[in-house]
């Protein structure tokens, strides 16, 4: 298994559950599986999005694929109440081979970690029946913009994204979703953006998202420190910078992720 930016400890596994709850209102208005019965979820982690999907679409049976046994074990535990509607498969998405077809597919925060997302798109399409729907939600980290200048955050973010690239991933994969789907032969491709654009006109919302961002940034810290790319005091300085942003009367905090939907 390739190196993985966020790691697999229990704190990180809980972060994925919290993140799914926090960002759900931004993600799911775009997602519609009405009429679908058999969904393939790729890079399913600990089942945080799986739980949301099972709740929103009661007709769905879900096959969740992840290459980490640790994530799948946690997902089985988290989704024990849904054992008749979900099954888990340990596979590298780049070698996806399930021997069956689905009428829908779902990815969330997964393609950014995969060295060859184009191969994954081809593999997934080969597992879908004509007319099947696919939904993707992925990062576009170059869209992150903030004021005032925060040098420790800027440094941390640069190292965090570089680590993702060094691990073979792409922190801007969201920008490529339309191309990836088109090259794999999907049709009726639609792109959409969501995220946040916050300032002191909404101080509570600004604080909520800044606190969320700190946790997201720190999810990379254990690996970055272990690799010698950051020191613990640089992690602390990144958090202090984000606290300074909250106090700045001209604070701006902006980020966009990309969603795509398409049909086979």
Where do contacts with ligand SAM occur on this chain (CB under 6 A)?
A: 4, 6, 16, 20, 43-45, 48-49, 66-68, 71, 92-94, 108-110, 113-114
Q: Using an 8 Å Cβ cutoff, are 260 and 177 in contact?
A: yes
Closer Cβ to ligand SAM, 39 or 114, answer by number: 114
Closer Cβ to ligand SAM, 13 or 206, answer by number: 13
Residue 90 C-beta: closest distance to ligand SAM, Å: 9
Query: What is the spatial distance between Cα 143 and Cα 175, in angstroms, rounded to a whole number?
Result: 10
Classify 26 in phi/psi space as left (phi over 0), alpha (psi -120 to 50) or beta: alpha
DSSP state of 46: T
- CB closest to ligand SAM, residue no: 45
Question: Cβ closer to ligand SAM: 192 or 200?
Answer: 192
Minimum separation from the CB atom of position 35 to ligand SAM (A)? 23
Q: How far apart are CA 257 and CA 104, in angstroms?
A: 21
CB of 27 to ligand SAM, least distance (A): 9
Burial of 100 (0-12, 13-18, 19+ CB in 10 A): exposed
> How many CB atoms within 10 Å of residue 195?
18
- Cα angle at 100 between 42 and 60, to 5 degrees? 60
For residue 206 the two structure tokens come to 């600004």
The residue among 94 and 154 lying less far from ligand SAM, judged by its C-beta, is 94
**How near is the Cβ of 36 to ligand SAM at its closest, in Å?**
18
Residue number, 128 or 206, with CB nearest to ligand SAM: 128
Q: How far is the CB of 70 from ligand SAM (least distance, A)?
A: 8
């Amino acid at each position: 298994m390739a190196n993985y930016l966020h790691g697999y400890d229990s704190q990180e596994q809980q972060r994925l559950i919290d993140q799914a709850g926090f960002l759900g209102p931004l993600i799911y208005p775009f997602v519609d599986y009405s009429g679908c019965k058999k969904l393939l979820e790729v890079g399913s982690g600990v089942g945080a999005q799986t739980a949301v999907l099972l709740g929103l679409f009661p007709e769905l049976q879900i096959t969740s694929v992840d290459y980490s046994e640790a994530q799948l074990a946690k997902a089985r535990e988290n989704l024990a109440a849904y054992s008749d509607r979900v099954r888990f498969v340990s596979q590298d998405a780049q070698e996806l081979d399930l021997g069956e077809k689905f009428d829908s597919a779902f990815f969330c925060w997964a393609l950014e970690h995969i060295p060859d997302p184009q191969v994954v798109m081809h593999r997934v399409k080969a597992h879908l029946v004509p007319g099947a729907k696919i939904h993707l939600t992925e990062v576009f980290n170059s869209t992150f913009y903030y004021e005032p200048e925060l040098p420790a955050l800027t440094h941390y973010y640069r190292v965090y994204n570089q680590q993702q690239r060094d691990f073979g991933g792409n922190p801007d994969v969201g920008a490529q979703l339309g191309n990836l789907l088109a090259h794999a032969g999907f049709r009726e491709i639609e792109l959409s953006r969501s995220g946040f654009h916050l300032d002191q006109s909404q101080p509570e919302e600004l604080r909520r998202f800044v606190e969320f961002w700190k946790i997201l940034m720190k999810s990379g810290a254990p690996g970055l420190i272990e690799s010698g790319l950051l020191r613990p005091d640089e992690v602390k300085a990144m958090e202090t910078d984000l606290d300074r942003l909250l106090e700045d009367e001209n604070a701006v905090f902006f980020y966009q992720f990309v969603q795509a939907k398409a049909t086979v």
